[in-house]
Structure 1
Amino acid sequence: MPQFILDLVYGNFVKGLADFGYEHGRNVDVIRRFDMFSDRVATMGEMVALVKPDVIVAPATLQAVEARKATSTIPIVCGALADAVHLGLIASEARPGGNVTGIEPYISGLPTKQIELAMEIAPRARCAGLLTNMNDPKGPPQVGDLKVACQALGLSVVEADANTPSDIPGALATLANKKVDIVVVLQTNLLLVRCEQIGAIALEKRLPTVFGYREHVVHGGLVSYGVDLRWCYRRTAYFVDKILRGAHPRDLPIEFPSKLWLAVNLKTAKALDVVIPAALLARGDEVIE
């Protein structure tokens, strides 16, 4: 797993614990799943049986599903939860009702804003490419919303799906061959973890890219607008603190981030000969030069 992902998830969660007075080894023990066995990654069932944790922190939906299969009693907090009702993880966002709660980083209306952002940097665009990852529960809802947003702006859409790292080069090549004007990359686990690969290939193919996570822009993407995952993972400590003090996940409503983050990579823009409007730069929370 890339170091930046460990820093993003684990590092920010530890910072969140510190906000509530917790320090690993002093008044709380944090056991990372990949620390459990030296030769292989422990299964979730093995971890639950061996450690019997007071709470499980899952970085994303796929891990929350795995944890829920392993236990229906130990509290599970997820920092990036999606499609949780449909997957049977919670009864509702207001009253989760089971042993799962956390933060939902997918905000209604965000795909429309991302397409509008794409049109700001490529005002003459007529065709948008979507790099999808439909095996991830977060994928299909985003694709539906993005298509609606594109239709409203008169953009045609080309999709290319990637569900393994080896799929990514071919998917981006497909979008380049179709001569899309701009590419929107979905917010999923796989596409986030492979952000360096995506950034490098998109630059090679001269594809302007729009993302939901700033981490993509830090690693060579063009622009992003969406939830700040650093906040999400730091905020998971709030739920853990509540649970350790006696609260039950069923009574802790799902939270939604209140601020969105706009990041721009001017180095990538220069390499692609893309002019970033001054008004967009003025709104930026993070500009990489």
Structure 2
Amino acid sequence: MRSASTRPRRIGFLYPGSPDREFDDWRQRFLEALKKFAWVEGSNIFIEWRFAEFDRTLYAPLAADLVRVKVDALLAAGTPLTRALQQATGAVPIVTGVGDPVGSGFAKNLAKPGGNITGLSWSLREKARKQVGLLLEMVPTVQTLLILRSPRYGDISELNRCLERVARESGTKAEVRTVESFAEVEAALGRFAGLMTGAACVYGHGSFQFDTSKLAETAIRHRVATVCDERFAVEAGCLMSYNLHHPDQAQRFASLTDQVLRGVSPAEIPFELPTKSEFVINRRTAGSLGLLISPELLLRADAVID
């Protein structure tokens, strides 16, 4: 462990939602990772947390507020939040995670960003390919892929395009459905009741106005397989999740934050690509759907929920 700078530092963290279980889990991992670089919250580093509560109109004012309190670095994830921070400052270092930093105008290239933004870059197409592939492997009879999201969730239009493209290449039709109430979820999933011809990719669990367990129960009742971003959704009864490995992601965010706090310019810090992902499957849900998990798929799973 290296010694952190003697001058206390202050960083700003902009989050799209509310301080829910998903956020708290990531926050704890991030703080533990910071300790490995000798940064201890409340001692030599202070963090200004800002929550947009799934209201995108708050992104810009919250970003401006963080710049106003004179933080030494800014953190966020996702293109809309990063855009808000970029528009708020061209001087404060920004550590972020986005799908296409070059195409989004955050970096000149991945190896040498050239501005005040660096971070993690992940392939949304690869994520879409994995999630759709898992659904089709579990349920070969799927003809329609539902992409369910809350209107309060962040912009996932880029991911939608990737999912639609991957579904089309797999011979499956994709439908994007924005759902907010439980009745809308019931209607979206009820079309496929008992047919096993529909499956759903679900995003933004924390922003739905009902518990994830209710969505999972409805999907099981209508025999619709689900794949999600977060492990907690599988623990709540959804079939599968596939996403970046959160502990690894937190460690990388901490490492990049440490570098900029020690004076390394973001312009010189390469965007990093993910090396770890996490695939979780719920064996009980699979049984309730009448699905058999192959031994090969079980071996590929990082965790199996019973």
1:47 to 43, 66, 73: 66
1:137 deviates by 7.4
Equivalent runs, 1:170-189 vs 2, <5 Å: 170=184, 173-177=187-191, 181-185=197-201
TM-score by structure 1 length? 0.82
Unmatched runs of 5 consecutive residues or more in structure 2 = 1-17, 52-57
1:132-160 CA deviation, whole Å, 9 max, x = no partner? Answer: 579977623333332333233322x1413
Moved more, 61-70 or 175-184: 175-184
Q: Return closer, same or farther for 1:141/1:17 CA change in 2, 3 Å cut-off.
A: same
TM-score by structure 2 length? 0.78
The structure richer in strand per residue is 2
Count of aligned pairs between the two proteins: 277
1:237 deviates by 0.7
- Residues 181 and 210 in structure 2, CA contact (< 8 A), matched pair in contact too: no
- Paired with 1:23 and 1:112, the residues of 2 have a C-alpha distance of 39
- Paired with 1:160 and 1:169, the residues of 2 have a C-alpha distance of 17
1:101 to 118, 137, 140: 118
Unmatched runs of 5 consecutive residues or more in structure 1 = 35-39
| 1:218 counterpart = 2:235 | yes
- Paired with 1:224 and 1:171, the residues of 2 have a C-alpha distance of 19
| Corresponding residue SS for 2:297 | helix
1:198 deviates by 4.6
Across the aligned residues of Structure 1 and Structure 2, the Cα RMSD in angstroms comes to 3.0
- Paired with 1:219 and 1:115, the residues of 2 have a C-alpha distance of 21
| Corresponding residue of 1:25 | 42
- Paired with 1:186 and 1:201, the residues of 2 have a C-alpha distance of 10
Moved more, 252-261 or 178-187: 178-187
| Residue identity (%) | 26
| 1:58 counterpart = 2:72 | no
- Residues 85 and 92 in structure 1, CA contact (< 8 A), matched pair in contact too: yes
| Corresponding residue SS for 2:98 | coil
Q: Return closer, same or farther for 1:238/1:33 CA change in 2, 3 Å cut-off.
A: same
1:111 to 111, 121, 128: 128
| Corresponding residue of 1:37 | none
Moved more, 194-203 or 1-10: 194-203
1:254 deviates by 1.2
Greater RCO (Cα-Cα under 8 Å, separation 6 or more): 1
| Corresponding residue SS for 1:89 | coil
Q: Return closer, same or farther for 1:153/1:81 CA change in 2, 3 Å cut-off.
A: closer
- Paired with 2:181 and 2:112, the residues of 1 have a C-alpha distance of 38
Equivalent runs, 1:236-255 vs 2, <5 Å: 236-255=253-272
